[in-house]
Structure formats: C-alpha cells, structure tokens
Structure 1
C-alpha cells in the first residue's frame, strides 16, 4: 500500500537527503519530494505515524502528517505526532531530542551528516570551524575568543622572539640580564605555552592526517611540531652542536607560526562577521515588546509571546513587532531597511506590514500573520547565513586542489631534507632539516583556503547593502556566465499595477472633468482598474461623490447614472451592447494607443463618446537601460508572458527585447527554459508571480522581485528586495567583481606557493648564498593569507 505524507520543516535539498535517510530506516521504498514537501511510502502494512516521526526526530526538526483525501477530493492532514519537535506556538524552542546535544558542535557544511563533536576541533573533512548547538548565531563569541587567543599568544611570543633574535651569540647584551641557558629554556616554555593555546589546531592537524583529509592545518601542525621537537632535541643535546656559532633552535618560529595562524583565523572570522552584520543588525531593530489587544484591553507582552492571529496595536514612531496585515486604521510605514526605498509607503486596511519597519504616521491595529523565525527579517538572515555556507563550484575546485597540494608539499619537504643532508656540497642534516621545515611552513595553503570563501562572503554582504539577497553562493559564479536572460512582464518589467495614464477628451470636456466622472463611477469598486481611476482623481485633488446606481458588466466594463445621465466606461463590446457606433477616426486613434501596449476604455455620456481612458501598466523607468546593459554583455533577452501577443510585442519593441513569447502558461515557460538549456546555455530567469515559480526553479539562476509572491522567492536563488529591475545589472556586475576577486586570490596564492617553496627548498641558495629560516617562512605564510583577506575586503568599497 502507498501512503502520502506531508513533511514539515523540509526546506532544502540537504533536508530532503536527511528525510530520505530517516524514512529508509523504517521502510524500503520511499519517495521524498521537496516541492511540495511530501513523502510517498510503500509498505505491506501501514507504518504507525509515531514510528515515522521517531525516525525523523533523529535527523532534525522535521514533523510528519498523513495526507487524507476524502471522497470529494478535499485534502486534509492528520494531527502531528504527539512528540513532534516543533510547532508554531512554541516559537522555535530547542528540539527535545537535541537538548542533550546542547554545547556540542557540528560542521555547518554537514560533511558527516548530523555527527557532533565535543569541541571546536574543526571539521575533519573540510577543516571549517564547527558551530555550537544551542548558541546564539548572532553573537561574536568566536571572534572574541580568537581575539583573546591572539593577544595571549602575542604577549608570550614577543619575549621569545626578542631573545631569539638578539640572543644568538653568547656575548649578546640579552645575557647581561639573564643567563644563556635560562634564555633558551624561556624560549622553550614560551613556545610550549603558545602550542597549548593553539592546541585545537594541533588536533585539527592530527585529525586531518588520521582521516587523510589533508588541509592547511596539516602543514601547519607538521611544520611546527617538527621545528619544536628538533629544537627540544638540541637543548637536551647541545654538545652535538658545539661547532655552530649558535644553537639551531627554532622555538621562536613555532611561537610565531601559531601566533600568526591565530591572527589569520581571527581576521577571517572578523571578515565573515562583517558580511552578515548588514542584515543581522535588523534583528536588533525588532522591538522586544508588543502591545496586544484582548477583549478591547491593551497589555504589553514579550515579542516571543506573540501568536499568529493576535491583534496588536502599533503607535506612531513605534517599530512593527511581527509581520502582519493592518486590521484597522491607515498610516505611512518606513520600510527602507528592508527594501532600500527611502520614502515611507502608504498602508491601509488589509495591507501587509513587516517586522522591523517603522510606523511614521497614525496609530493602527494589525493582525499577526508571521511570528518568530517566520518573519521576513528572520528569513532573510537565515538565507544569508545559508548562502555564506554554500560553496560555489570554483571553491570546490580550490578544495580539490588542496587535497593534492598537501602530499606534494610533504614529498618536496622530504626530498629537500635528503638532498641537503646527503647530496649537497654542504651536506648537513641541519641544513636538510631547516630547509625541510621551511618548505612545510611556507607552503601552508592558508591563502588558498581563504581565496574563495572570504570573497564569496564579502560579495553576499555587498549585495545585501544594495537590496540584492543572494541565497546561494553558486549564483554569484553562474551570473557572470549567463548568456540568456528570460523575464516575465507584469510586475517584473512593469510596475505590476494598472494606472490611468491619461483621459483624452473628444468633446468639450477637460481631462479633470472626465477623471472626476469616471472616478465617481468607480468609487465603490475595489477592482484594480477602478483604483486607477480613483488614484488619478486623488492626484488632481478632486472631491469624489460616489453614485450607487452602478452595474458591472463582466468582461466589458461598468455603467451607471450620474446626475440623470447614463455613463459608460468600457471596451468596444460594451458600446456594441448599448448600440453605440464608433467612428473610423476614433478607431484609428484607439489603434495607435493599443500599438504602444496600452489598454483603451471608452468614456460615454448617454450615446456620445466623450473621451478615451488610456490605462497602462507602466514600464519601470530603469528597464530600457538595464536591457541595453545586458545586450552590451552579449546576453540575449527573452520575454515570456501570459499577456496578449499585441501588448507583449509593443512593450518588447519599446525596451529592445530580442524575442517575445506571449500567452505563456507556467508549463510553457518551463518547457522553454528546458529547451534553451539543452543547447548548453546558462539561463537567468527573472519573475515575480506564482506562475513563474517552476521556471525560476528550473533556470540556472532564478531572480525574484521583492514585491512578488512568496513562492517565487522560495524558488529563486536571488531576491531583489527593492524590486528594481536595475538590480539585475547590479547583480551581474557584483558577480563579475566577485569572480575576478576570487581569481586574483587564487592566482596570488598559487604563485606565492610556487615561489615560496622554491626559495624554502634552497633552489636559489647557490646564487644568493641564503636560506629561508622557518621563522621568515612563517611570516611570509601569514602575510599571504592577510593579503588574500585584504584583497577580498576591497569588495566592501566597490560601487555597483
């Protein structure tokens, strides 16, 4: 038997994989679909819902409900299993089955699924810092910890470095204050303390070799331990080195290596923190209290106590606590922090308001629609965090190279040791070991590991500043490779709402008189076109006196009585119904307007046509310029719209679109994208409606307009929060700059390593008579990482 289930909290492909794994532990045959979030289980007998829920609870905050379809085809859901780990009225509390894991760590890339660790020793697979379960994602604990660690290491390293640099000879001034032997043992103690402070990085190095998932910590740990153990051997056996001018100890190198490495980790953590701050600070703008109305009484409650459908009171100057709709009253709302629009937006009954925006005008009441992590701000932050963890293909290339890089470097280090120990003119195992250690240190792939993620993170943060919400790092790379842009029309290229552009008088009437007449006819209607007439009257500051004698004629228009005169407003079919003739002159005038992609309604008094109302969904002013930019990049632009062919072609001609396909259903748009992709082209799809969702999901990059449907935004990889079409251009420019920045970082890292390894191995020794000490190698290694981070930070200053 087959049974369908709804899976709650399954939001991405990673969730899908975990749900499949969980349900396969219960039954052999299972299909799991992400959209809609459902599972189909086939089994000989029905599996208890509690058993399925128990399996899911071990994989995450997923809950399962059976889908029940009655004889009328109506679909309902069973109750959530009694031990469900999340419900809308518990406001995202810690899942019961994960409470015992609080304080443990997991890899944000989920390299080993849901495996947890006792401490932040780094992921054994990818080497990334682990995330603490139950911690606040918005705090600076990691940054502060690394900062403290760096300063502790620095305080210890400075005296070790001074003693090493100025105390190479027995007659150094340093030994007027301390004995030579005491100075050596101070260096040993200092290096030991720094290694203790950086013990987690030694653990990472050990795990990387143990699992053979080699990363930058592999070389750091190997090089530092080699230098430390060799130096310890020297101070225990100084008589073996009596011929040297000074004892070959490198405790200062160990201390400097780890101190600089901690500095690099701190700078990286700070860079990541900065990229998220542009959105995370929005959470701090949400008030901690809300005024709730219960039975007419007002009381203040904590924000996390607000439930869906609660009635809330918002006064002028207050911040809106949750997402909702206005229940009574009207006001102006400043949504600049969410949309980038500087001017307040007029809001009235049934209009949506967003948490964190500011009520700038009148008191109103609202009904809570989305609370807690379901609010727009919380979703935005969640998407940014996910995007910061997602990996672009170019980053996976760098990761793959790092896996081969480490064993190659270790091999070079071994060859360097044997050459300088046994085959060089100065054959000395001291030379050999020193050069081998230098190779290990200078070849550390820190810069290589930082090259991509820091640039991606900075790019995502920069996009957020412009209202470009990038949900997936891959989108940043693919945008730069786009060669076809497919766009919807209504709400994407146009404003998405009809407006009365003008009324052309045909008799002895002024435009204002005709606007007042048509506005009165539409005064009691809530139709979008009726609103266009009323808005025009408001613009002219006309006093509208509604008339009750009005009839809507489906598909034709509206007619009514005003001051004993019969007024008609509609298309030619309405005129035909009333046996009103249209002259050829007027028909030609109407045709000229329609050729511009506009709609015309006739205005009639009794039987006389007195005017033409030009209704237009205005093209966004920035569209033509953006289309020109796309063409300059060699990108083909195609319009797919459900509108009529004549209107679509007229608009396309105005703005320079290459191809037009009108009267398109959602499945038509999807098939068109599949066809173009089969030609090997990379498609960016731009849309805003529910009908665009399948195409947005199928395209290589889906871009949703910020004022579009939630479904469109869910399926897209990029959302333009201020719904400006010009942000398509900005998105592509951002992609170009980020990819260029990554390539610069990768080039620098590779060239640096090639040259550094050659110098450290002593390739230029006979020409320069100079060897690279481990300490200088450590400094150079750190500078390369700092250079990569500094180059990535340049993205903060770019203008799109």
Structure 2
C-alpha cells in the first residue's frame, strides 16, 4: 500500500456551505482517504490519501463538483525532431495529474493542462528535465491565466446581472407600481389591459429565468434529484414556484380558487436579479480576501542581472540557479535569497519580517528575495531559488493556513449539511399551515410565505463566515511578519492562558556582550579595554569574543598567551603582563580586588558574569559580560500582561541568572536549570496550573517544547521559516511579534464569532418572519423580493466584515522602542 500523502485540489461548482459537506462525503468515501477538508472560500479541498489522484477526481466528478483544471506553458530545450515531441508528451501525460499535454517543436514549448492542486508547473518542468529535455515555466503564464479566468467570470456575472435588471425593471413597475399607486393601476387597466400586462411580464420573466437565471436550475434541479439540495435548489424552487403559479394565473385562471389568480412574475425576476447582484458583490469581496497572497507573490521581480564572463545581462527569474552571481542596484528588489559577495547597503525587509527598520548588509551577510535594496549596490551569489526561497516558503505557509479548517468550522459544516433540507421542510410546513389555517384566499398567501422561506435562508453566509476571516486574518498576519503554519493555531493561540518563554535567543540576544567596564587604581578605561581585547582575541570562548568585539579595531600584538583552564587567560601585550579571569585567579596571583569585588557581586546578582583584569600585578578593572535583553522585549511582555496572560520562563540557565532576568522583566513564574526533556515536564506542570499554554522558543533547541505546547511559537530570522515543529513562526527575532500574533488571533476569532452570530442569527430570526409569524399582528408578509435582497446582503455582510481584518495594525510595532502602542482596529 502506498504511503499516505496530502493533495490539494481546486473544486468547482460549489455555490453554498451545504456543498462543502457533500464534497467531503464524496472524498471520504474513496478508498485510501483518511481525511478530507474542504474550504468554501478558497474552493479547495485538502485530502490525506494513499491512492491515486484519479480516484479523487472521479469521485468529485460523480458528485457534481469536478476538480478544476489549470494550464501552464513550459519552455523546453533540446528538441530536434518529432520523436522528441512524442517522448516529452509521453513523460508528461504519465503523470496522473496531467489531463493533456501538447508539445510544439517549432515554438519549443509545451502547453500542459493539469488538475489544479494535484501538481505544480515547477514539478511538470522537472518531469521534462528527467526525460532529458530541460524545461522552465514561462514566468507568470499560469497565474495570469487564472487571474484572467476569474476576471472573465466576474465580468460575465456582472453582464448577466445588468441584463436581468434591465428586463426585471418593467416587470416590477407594471406589477408593484399598481399596488403602490392606484392611479397607475387604473391607467394600466384602461390602456394596455391587465391580461396584456401579465403577458408582458410573462415574456420578460421567461427571458430572465431561462437566460441569466438558468444557472440556478442547471445546478439546483440535479441536486434535488440526487437528494442533495443546495442553495441553487432553494432559488430554483422559490422562483420556479412563483413562476409556475403565475403561468396558471395568466393562462388558466379558472383552475385556481376564486380570488387567488394573482401573478408573481415580479417576485421571480427580482429574486434572480438580487441574488445575481449578491454574487457579484460577494465575488468582488472574496477577490480582495486574497490580496495578501497576491502582494507577496508580487514582491518577486521578473528578471535579475546575472554576471557572465565579466558582464551583467538581464535574465528571467525562472532561469536563475544556485551559484549565479547577481548584481542588485540601488532601489531594486532582491531577486532570490543570496549571500553578499561585495558592496554594502541597507535592505528594507519589512514585507518579509514586518520590521520597518532597514537592515545593514555587508560581506557574507544573507539577503532575502523580495526585499528592497537601499542606496548601495550589492554583488551577491544566489543560495536559494524557486520554491526554496524564504518568500516562496512564506507564500506556501500562508496558503496552507488559509486552506485550513478550524475546529469551530466542523460544527458549522455539520449544521449546514442538514440546513437546506431543513429549510425545504420548513417551507412545505409553512405552505401546509397557511393552506389549512390561513384566511381566504389562502393559496396565494401560502405561496408567498413558502417562497419567502426558501429564498431568505442563507447557508452561503454560514459557509463563508469562518474561511473568509481565516484568509484575511492570516494574510494580514503575514504582512506583519507572523506566519500561522497551521490554521487551527489561529483558534488555539487566542485561548492561551500562559505564555512560556525560553531565555537564550528568545528573551535575550543569545550571545554575550560586554555590558560595563569598571576601572580601579587609576587605570584608563580605553587602555584596559584595548589590552583585554587583544588578549581575548587569542581565545575562542564566547565571553572572550564579546570582549574582543567591544574593543577597538587596532589591537596590539600579543605574546606568551596562555589559557588557564577554569580560571582565565594570561599574556603579554605591549610589554605589559595582562591577567584576565575569575576572583580565584586574582587570589592565586596575590592581587587584591579592593572595591571591584563589591561591584562584581552586585553585577552577578543582576545576572551578569564578572571578570577581572590585572595589569602588571595590579587590579585594573572589572568587566561585566551578559546576554543582553532583546530590544522590545520589555514592551512585549508588558503588552502580554495587559492582555491578561501569565508569563513564565523555562530555561536551562542557572537559577540565579534566570531569576534576576525574570525580576527585571516582570515574569511571573521561573523554571531554571532544566534539560530539554525537563522542559517538557515544566510545560506540562504550567499547563496543569494555569491552563492552555503557548511556548515561545528559537525553533531549533526548543523543538520538543514547541511540539509539546498547545501552540508552539518559533521566533527567529527569515531563514528559520521551515521549522516544522512550530504552529506559528515569527519572521523577525523581535518578541513584540508574539504580542502581535496573540492580538491577530484574538481579532480574527472575534471576527469569526461575529460572522457566525450574524449568519445563524439572521436565519433564526428571519425564517419565522418569512413564514408569516408577524401576520396576525398587523397583516404584513415578507415579500419574496425583499427576502432575496436580505439573503444576498447577508453573504456580502459576512465577507465585508472579514475584510475589516485587513485594517488591523500591529499591537506593538517592531523597530519602535518607545512604550506607546498603536490602537488596534478591526
């Protein structure tokens, strides 16, 4: 049996939330499928399975929701005859995800039609490479085609809506004008006649229903016959009932009870117009939910300047390979991930990390594709290209998160799967009650209420409530440098009661730095630091490196260097004997420390490591070395406290240092001196004591803890985005990103609850109104046309509410060290 793997397919034909349940049921019935998750907003299905892709696509086709196909164009080299064409076509069509492949020898290209999601253009190019014919994807062809198809679909829907509205307007005026203005009714009766008016309405409505409205019948009626009704079925039943009743009233009124031969052409036509209008507005709004992804994709330039034989030439980005030397001019975007070979500049990495302050770049530094070069020119060597770049991984993470299904969505799916049949049952019950208990003439009243119930119900809003918020929320988070690798982390993080943090590399920079120099016996600070840095330059110890880093660049030569294990070092510099190390080393050499010892004890209590410097047998200075707190850490922890979260530190460092740091930062709970496996026990203990827990670490040494936490948050630079154990990845190393992640999680879940509250509340309140519960209190019934308008606006409201998440700003802007916070709007 084949190993399980995950496939993402683009599903067509879904028009409402109830479709989601049927698609998932169809996929789960396929042998080898262990899980299937369908996202209505993105129209995608993620399937964990061990069988062939064809089984999945066949199941979707049988269920009436075929997998969408996509085309890409490959530029192929090495072809010289027709047999080459046949070989490449055979290799491509052997891929089960390929529907068709047409190779053209003259243009040296291949147009490949494949199942969207089952493979990628890059993988198809690799198939051709393996067959011996190097191929590359024609840049932008596939994406342009997808965007073009979506645009054309939206334009066609708009044209259909306008056409239907133009035809529906006279129908509405002829029928409703007479009801609202008695003089107009009299004018119609005496000029063209009531029967002629009905015939005109019949003709125009027929064109609407069998033209722009035909889509509802083509999809809705088969769904009814297959006993799996959807939103289209409700529209088809509602408009069809109004239309058929009107036909009888127009051409055979004698078969209807006395006084009930009314026409409802205007209801059928206006319903179609309003629902089409709702879908146009919804399509436009949904198109904006993917803005973050399109913005990220747009960061990559189309070409790059490649060095070849001493000259630079522009080459398509798809042709860049690892090892190519590129030139990046001032103001240009970095084309791929690369290492700086020559030049200095500042690079704006805000679109990748969310951090607004440009980052200095020099020899051997890494630059990330998609970022913007500053005023300096850089010469770089490509280290990652294509799908391996940080930007590509970011896009993949965002797409995966947007396609995920939160736990809360499972309940919604179970409800919506049964919703449409329940609405039909309620509509039939409403008709029956009105026919039995309604006042005369009961039949038209029963028809109006039954059609209103069918039309007002809106499973679309239920289905869109969660995924649209996820799409917009995770997209906005990515723009702020927060990547939700797993969609359910969006729900889990906002439930956290305690945030546990690693110390080294998370709260602190992760490398020691010289914090202070205290001199004694009249020695000059700069002189002491110069000699100490020269001596420590001979050592590779991290503390020695910190001292050297703090010293001047012109260091004197050192001789007679000796490392004294466990004590320190000694050497001769500029003819002076220099001794650097612990109090014990000074004591062994008979060097009194005077007031320096008191200062050293105080700095040690604060978590620093004190070292003493003696020159020519006299105490010269005390050096305090510590792992500095990261910029913004105090702000971040303060904000997390304001959010009502308990803060804990879990570290392997000694208890004295950890407690000193915790006291300085206001951390509530400290667990120190634990090994990696001890961190797991500490996390479980914190979870038992406080509740749901999120662990924040650097994503490498803390992998077990990240995996064990309810939500694992990995912080680091862009090179850490592939951390597999984390649920959330922060692109920058700034701890303020944790506050932003929690804020976005809370805002998104609040938005989802608002959407669900609206969607369910709307139906709970308005279905009874449509059924006529207010009729006994004033004789008012809800018009089917108004019901259609309310239904259309319900979906638009949900998507528009989700789009408000695009305006969420950083809770704590990175790169700003003041203690003011921006107002978060959503």
TM range (shorter): 0.7 to 0.9
User: Which whole-Å CA distance do the structure 1 matches of 2:712 and 2:145 have between them?
Assistant: 28
For residues 6-48 of structure 1, what are the alpha-carbon distances to aligned partners after superposition, in whole Å with 9 as ceiling and x for unaligned? x999799xxxxxxxx9xx98xxxx9xxxxxxxxxxxxxxxxxx
User: Which whole-Å CA distance do the structure 2 matches of 1:220 and 1:355 have between them?
Assistant: 49
User: Which whole-Å CA distance do the structure 2 matches of 1:750 and 1:433 have between them?
Assistant: 25
User: Which whole-Å CA distance do the structure 2 matches of 1:380 and 1:469 have between them?
Assistant: 7
For residues 705-735 of structure 1, what are the alpha-carbon distances to aligned partners after superposition, in whole Å with 9 as ceiling and x for unaligned? 1428627733222222233222322322322
Pick aligned residue for 2:370 from 330, 343, 356: 356
**Greater RCO structure (CA 8 Å; 6+ sep):** 2
Pick aligned residue for 1:794 from 804, 814, 824: 804
User: Which whole-Å CA distance do the structure 2 matches of 1:497 and 1:270 have between them?
Assistant: 50
Shift of 1:140: 6.3
- Deviation larger for 347-356 or 560-569: 560-569
Pick aligned residue for 2:658 from 634, 639, 648: 648
1:149 aligns with 2:154: no
Gaps of 5+ in 2: 9-27, 35-49, 57-91, 101-111, 119-140, 179-184, 812-826
Q: Residue in 2 aligned with 1:65?
A: none
CA distance 1:535–1:219, shift in 2 (3 Å): farther
Q: Residue in 2 aligned with 1:237?
A: 252
Matches within 5 A, 1:280-679: 280-294=294-308, 296=310, 298-426=312-440, 428-521=442-535, 529=543, 532-533=546-547, 535-537=549-551, 544-545=554-555, 547=557, 549=559, 551=561, 553=563, 557-572=568-583, 575=586, 579=589, 581=591, 583=593, 585-677=595-687
Shift of 1:415: 0.9
User: Which whole-Å CA distance do the structure 1 matches of 2:445 and 2:616 have between them?
Assistant: 107
Shift of 1:670: 2.9
Contact preservation (8 Å) 1:468, 1:731: yes
For residues 107-143 of structure 1, what are the alpha-carbon distances to aligned partners after superposition, in whole Å with 9 as ceiling and x for unaligned? 89xxxxxxxxxxxxxxxxxxxxxxxx96569836435
CA distance 1:228–1:686, shift in 2 (3 Å): farther
Shift of 1:527: 6.6
- Deviation larger for 712-721 or 372-381: 712-721
Contact preservation (8 Å) 1:393, 1:474: yes
Matches within 5 A, 1:149-228: 149-167=157-175, 171=186, 180=197, 181-196=199-214, 199=215, 202=217, 204-205=219-220, 209=224, 215-228=230-243
Contact preservation (8 Å) 1:500, 1:532: yes
TM-score, structure 1 as length reference:
0.77
User: Which whole-Å CA distance do the structure 1 matches of 2:707 and 2:366 have between them?
Assistant: 26
CA distance 1:755–1:155, shift in 2 (3 Å): same
TM-score, structure 2 as length reference:
0.75
User: Which whole-Å CA distance do the structure 2 matches of 1:778 and 1:599 have between them?
Assistant: 73
Shift of 1:573: 6.3
Q: Residue in 1 aligned with 2:267?
A: 253
CA distance 1:271–1:367, shift in 2 (3 Å): same
RMSD over equivalenced CA pairs, Å: 3.9
Contact preservation (8 Å) 1:288, 1:302: yes
User: Which whole-Å CA distance do the structure 2 matches of 1:8 and 1:364 have between them?
Assistant: 45
CA distance 1:226–1:242, shift in 2 (3 Å): closer
1:98 aligns with 2:108: no
Q: Residue in 1 aligned with 2:70?
A: none
Shift of 1:439: 0.5
Pick aligned residue for 1:757 from 767, 772, 776: 767
Shift of 1:106: 6.1
CA distance 1:481–1:600, shift in 2 (3 Å): same
Contact preservation (8 Å) 1:289, 1:302: yes
1:726 aligns with 2:736: yes
Contact preservation (8 Å) 1:558, 1:570: yes
Give 3-state SS (helix, strand or coil) of 1:602's partner: strand
- Deviation larger for 753-762 or 276-285: 276-285
Contact preservation (8 Å) 1:332, 1:360: yes
Contact preservation (8 Å) 1:487, 1:686: yes
User: Which whole-Å CA distance do the structure 2 matches of 1:424 and 1:534 have between them?
Assistant: 94
CA distance 1:414–1:654, shift in 2 (3 Å): same
Shift of 1:592: 1.2
Q: Residue in 2 aligned with 1:122?
A: none
Gaps of 5+ in 1: 13-20, 31-53, 61-92, 109-132
Q: How many corresponding residue pairs?
A: 695
Shift of 1:646: 1.9
Shift of 1:149: 0.5
Shift of 1:580: 5.3
Give 3-state SS (helix, strand or coil) of 1:478's partner: helix
User: Which whole-Å CA distance do the structure 2 matches of 1:190 and 1:327 have between them?
Assistant: 66
